[in-house]
Amino acid sequence: MEAYLFYIMAAVAVVSAVYLIFEKNPVYSILYLVMILISIAVLYLLLGAQFIAAVQIIVYAGAIMVLFLFVVMLLNLSAKEELKDALSFQKIPAIVMGIVLLSAIGIILRSKIPLGKQGEYTSAYVHDVGNTQLIGKLLFTKYLLPFEITSILLFIAAIGAIILAKRK
């Protein structure tokens, strides 16, 4: 059952991604992106990462993409104003390199089964304690320093937004 759900959601994500690229109307592109984000959130759920799934929807689908939509609507980009492709000569090399990359990844994946170190957080353990609780505990113990530094990061981002947008 979970495997079927995975295939369905993965297919939705990939198809939406393709549509996202080839869609001429920016509003539709954004909505396809929202679909990708939601289907990936479902994949997270299948992996037992409920916290990331919920945060993915709240932050990306619920906030960031709405701002995208907001901007696109304000600019009122219509489908007619297509962006001129200044670097059209890159198309063929890009496709060739993409195929090369895909086959390289395929070869790597088929060559050997990766066996990383089995961590202390097995899925049974995570299920027991609760995904959110474990993330919270890790953030405030093992990864305390990066977590706290992130506050400086957000502070910088806020200063940057204000100084670039508001100062005359």
Q: Which residues bind another protein (CB under 8 A)?
A: 27, 31, 34, 41, 50-51, 53-55, 57-58, 61-63, 66-67, 69-70, 73-74, 108, 111-112, 114-120, 129-132, 137-138, 141-146, 149-150, 152-153, 155-157, 159-160, 162-164, 167
Give least dist CB 14 to another protein, A: 18
The nearer residue to another protein, 88 or 151, going by C-beta atoms, is 151
Give least dist CB 24 to another protein, A: 13
The nearer residue to another protein, 91 or 127, going by C-beta atoms, is 127
Give least dist CB 67 to another protein, A: 7
The nearer residue to another protein, 8 or 148, going by C-beta atoms, is 148
Q: Are 156 and 164 in contact (CB under 8 A)?
A: no
Q: What's the rounded Cα separation, in Å, for the pair 36 and 13?
A: 5
Structure tokens that stand for 28 in this block: 């539709």
Give just the sign of the alpha carbon dihedral 124, 129, 133, 137.
Answer: negative
Give least dist CB 41 to another protein, A: 8
Q: What's the rounded Cα separation, in Å, for the pair 108 and 102?
A: 10
Q: Are 50 and 131 in contact (CB under 8 A)?
A: yes
Question: Which residues, 6+ apart, have CB-to-CB distance to 44 below 8 Å?
Answer: 50, 52, 53, 56
The nearer residue to another protein, 94 or 138, going by C-beta atoms, is 138
